Structure 1
Amino acid sequence: MFNIDSIANKFRLSYLVFAILLCAAFVSIFMYAEMRIEQDLVKGRLIQQLQLSQEKEGKQAVYTANPGIKIYRYDSAPENLKALANGTVQKTRVTVNNQAGETKTNLHFFAYQQKEQKYVLTYLEGNEIAMENYPVLAIFEELEDIFADALKIAVLLSLLIAVLFSHLSSKQIIKPLLNLKKAVETDHRNLTELTHLPSEVGVLARAIDEKNHKLEQYLKREQLFTGDVSHELRTPLTIIMGASEVLASQLEENSPLIEFANRISTTAKETSEIISALLLLSRAPEQLDTPQTSINTITLNEVTRLQYLLRHKPVSCKVVTDQDYVAYVRPELLKMALGNLIKNAFQYTDDGEVIVTIDAEKITVTDTGLGIPEVMMPLLYERFERLNEVNKGDQVEGSGLGLSIVQRITAHMGWQLTHQANKTGGSTFSVYYNK
């Protein structure tokens, strides 16, 4: 199928259009030249006929010569011809009577000054001018047919050559771009080999190489930052977890402080898991091992862990599934993605229920909460974008990173995240893990 957006096809089409315009220009020049030459030859033939008629018939008001030639003395010419005639051969549409009835044809005419006397010479189309007294016109008629046939062949050959040449030359023009494409897709070394070229491809290769270098530096800095932060945070988190366990062991069995000590220990462990997930997210997907992970187990754990967000709300939560489903994914990443979706549903739902549905294709989190205004849809997965409560005008606690992280995780795993507004209010987020 012809794709007009292709550079090669655009080049081929433009070359063909150029060839057609060039042929049209040559044909127009040929036809104009043919018309002017024929006019001059006809004019010469009619002047010759005037001289022959004068020698044969003497001075007359009107000379008639077959076929189709009629010469008027100016004062005897029809008024319409007198008004229009000048030194240039012109033509006008006329109706003539013949054996076939009335027919329309062209009448050629011009004015000619012979010494003191002026004439109007006419020739009616549809009649072959007698050639015996004017052989140059006969020669022109023969050459005209030859040139017309030659011009047709030249136009066809020109278009054929244009098609073939544009096809071959477009391949040569596109070849450097294809080499650049392959170099970009393969490795940095192949791209470097093109940067020395003086052509536009070399300029483009140098720009891409420079951009790749900046991107590599940026990714390297990001990986180093993530690694450094995780390394620096692991030690204090380990100390916090150890200290909280020691604190919990020294408290009395019924002490109200045990709950807080356990909360400190649990939060520290969750933070450590988040750091591990962020480290995994900074790696390339092909570098990650993906063990078989139970979706049901992680979902139930996250619902239990975040249940405290519903402590003072008339909101229920249930997990709907008909069997235990698994996915080949790092559990840390799945935990972070589902945790953020469930947390958002709990935070933005003040009344009703939250339903987490698991099937063989997707994981769905549905709530009856605030929903997402239409104005925020283009910014749904943008970082630091948060939803304000429509009725209260208060901002729900959060950083505005949750959905952005979920989108990043699902894209990293090759999954798909979708959103749909519920007719009765609230939102439904679906994670398609088995595409």
Structure 2
Amino acid sequence: MFRIDSIVNKFRISYFLFAVLLCATFVSIFVYAETRMEQDLIKARLLQQLELSQEKEGELAVYVADPGIKIYRYDTAPEDLKTMADDKVQETSVTVNTKTGTTRTNLHFFAYQQNKQKFILTYLEDREMVLANYPVLAIFEHLEDIFANALRVAVILSLLIAIIFSQLSSKQITKPLLDLKQAVENDHQNLTELTHLPSEVGVLARAIDQKNHKLEQYLKREQLFTGDVSHELRTPLTIIMGASEVLASQLASDHYLSEFTERISTTAKETSEIISALLLLSRAPEKLDAPQTSINNIAVNELERLKYLLRYKTVTYTVVAEQEYSANVRPELLKMALGNLIKNAFQYTDDGEVKVTIDAEKITVTDTGLGIPESMMPLLYERFERLDQQNDSTPLSTDLLADDYASYKVEGTGLGLSIVQRIMTHMGWQLTHQANTTGGSTFSIYYK
């Protein structure tokens, strides 16, 4: 398939256009030179004939000289010639009668001032006449044919050479770029060889090599940091979970205190799962296994886990799914992504409903909360960007919502949607947002 944006094709088109322009230039020069030479020869011949006719016939209104020459005194010339004629030889196409019928030929003419008398000199072009009576013009016509044929061959050969040369040269010019592309695709195995080239490709290879080195160092530091943090946090989390189990066994008879120990144990387990998910995000996607995971179960569990955020709100929540849906994904990553969306919906909804809808291609989280102002849309998935809300126990009215997106303090860091977007990119899924006409937001995770 021919692509105009390909560098190789751009080289080929450039060579071809250059050849076309060059040929057009030479053709134009040839046509101009041929025309001027023909005009000068005709003009000289007609002036010579005017002088001969005056010497032989004296002063007449019209001089006729065979073959094809007719000289008019200006006042007796046809009106159309008077209109068009000037001191330069011009050419027009006319129809003439011959023995075999009518034919189209060229009429050459120009105006000439002799003393106080003005003439219009004309010459009707006919090859047989030229050959028989005007040997100079006959030689010129013969040479003109030779040069015209040679020029046609030269133009065709030039274009063919341009096509062949563009094919060969474009491959040679782009070969270093293709080598650079192959080196980058092969994990930079041959990139070091290209960095020693003195050409622009060498400069580009060195820039890529330096950037890759910085990225590798950055990724290595990030992986080491994530690994170190997870290792250091697992030990205290294990201690917390063990202590909470011991405490729960000793406070089994105290229902009030048992609820707190259960919260401690649950939070510690959730933190451990978050650490596992962060470790998975630090690994390359192709190195992760993707087991069959139930989307319905994770959605229900996340709603139950986060329902404490609705303790003082008149908000209902539900999962809508026609059947059991599943996807090939690590459950830790799906849980973190869906949990962040549900958490945001719970936190920013004071009244109404939060609904999780699951179908064969997407997971949708819809709320009737505050929604997202238009000014924040460009920064929706940026880190540390969030709605700033002020502490106020007064419920929000509809008018107040339009002016100020704040009635209470929502704890958070502004990382939730950024993490969800990162997980989507990691898994090759898509996250979209749509504002609801009745208020609130709808986030959709397309997993197929």
TM normalised by structure 2 equals: 0.83
Instruction: Out of 356-365 and 310-319, give the one that drifted further.
Output: 356-365
Give the 5 Å matches for 1:209-358.
209-251=209-251, 253-254=253-254, 256-358=256-358
Q: Aligned equivalents of 1:198 and 1:16: distance in 2?
A: 29
Q: Which runs of 5+ in 1 are unaligned?
A: none
Q: Could you tell me how far 1:110 is from its partner in structure 2? A: 5.3
| RMSD, aligned α-carbons | 3.5
Which residue in 2 is equivalent to 1:382? Answer: 382
Q: Secondary structure of 1:227's match?
A: helix
How far does the alpha carbon of each residue in 1:29-75 deviate from its partner, in whole angstroms, 9 at most, with x for none?
00111011112211332243245435644677864322343457899
How far does the alpha carbon of each residue in 1:383-423 deviate from its partner, in whole angstroms, 9 at most, with x for none?
12213564554253322111111111122122222223333
Q: Does the Cα contact within 8 Å between 1:46 and 1:121 map onto a contact in 2?
A: no
Which residue in 2 is equivalent to 1:402? Answer: 416
AA in 1 matched with 2:333 = L
Is 2:12 the partner of 1:12? Answer: yes
Instruction: Out of 317-326 and 210-219, give the one that drifted further.
Output: 317-326
Which residue in 2 is equivalent to 1:24? Answer: 24
Q: Aligned equivalents of 1:93 and 1:413: distance in 2?
A: 76
Is 2:192 the partner of 1:192? Answer: yes
Q: Could you tell me how far 1:229 is from its partner in structure 2? A: 1.7
Q: Could you tell me how far 1:77 is from its partner in structure 2? A: 9.2
AA in 2 matched with 1:379 = L
Q: Could you tell me how far 1:203 is from its partner in structure 2? A: 1.8
Instruction: Out of 363-372 and 305-314, give the one that drifted further.
Output: 363-372
Q: Does the Cα contact within 8 Å between 2:105 and 2:125 map onto a contact in 1?
A: no
Q: Does the Cα contact within 8 Å between 2:108 and 2:125 map onto a contact in 1?
A: no
TM normalised by structure 1 equals: 0.85
Q: Secondary structure of 1:289's match?
A: coil
Q: Secondary structure of 2:122's match?
A: strand
Which residue in 1 is equivalent to 2:122? Answer: 123
After superposition, the Cα gap between the structure-2 partners of 1:56 and 1:248, relative to the gap in structure 1 and judged at 3 Å, is: same
After superposition, the Cα gap between the structure-2 partners of 1:62 and 1:429, relative to the gap in structure 1 and judged at 3 Å, is: closer
After superposition, the Cα gap between the structure-2 partners of 1:76 and 1:286, relative to the gap in structure 1 and judged at 3 Å, is: closer
Q: Does the Cα contact within 8 Å between 2:77 and 2:120 map onto a contact in 1?
A: no
After superposition, the Cα gap between the structure-2 partners of 1:423 and 1:56, relative to the gap in structure 1 and judged at 3 Å, is: same
Q: Which runs of 5+ in 2 are unaligned?
A: 390-400
Q: Secondary structure of 1:137's match?
A: helix
Which residue in 2 is equivalent to 1:423? Answer: 437
Q: Could you tell me how far 1:428 is from its partner in structure 2? A: 2.2
Q: Secondary structure of 2:381's match?
A: coil
After superposition, the Cα gap between the structure-2 partners of 1:255 and 1:348, relative to the gap in structure 1 and judged at 3 Å, is: same
Is 2:89 the partner of 1:90? Answer: yes
Which residue in 1 is equivalent to 2:394? Answer: none
> Percent identity over the alignment?
72
Is 2:414 the partner of 1:412? Answer: no
After superposition, the Cα gap between the structure-2 partners of 1:94 and 1:277, relative to the gap in structure 1 and judged at 3 Å, is: closer
How far does the alpha carbon of each residue in 1:177-210 deviate from its partner, in whole angstroms, 9 at most, with x for none?
2222121111222222222222222222111111
Q: Does the Cα contact within 8 Å between 1:85 and 1:120 map onto a contact in 2?
A: no
Q: Secondary structure of 1:399's match?
A: coil
Q: Aligned equivalents of 1:153 and 1:104: distance in 2?
A: 26
Q: Could you tell me how far 1:245 is from its partner in structure 2? A: 3.6
Q: Aligned equivalents of 2:246 and 2:446: distance in 1?
A: 43
Which residue in 2 is equivalent to 1:108? Answer: 109
How far does the alpha carbon of each residue in 1:144-199 deviate from its partner, in whole angstroms, 9 at most, with x for none?
12222222232223223322322332223222222221211112222222222222
Q: Aligned equivalents of 2:76 and 2:374: distance in 1?
A: 88
Q: How many residues align?
A: 429
Which residue in 2 is equivalent to 1:432? Answer: 446
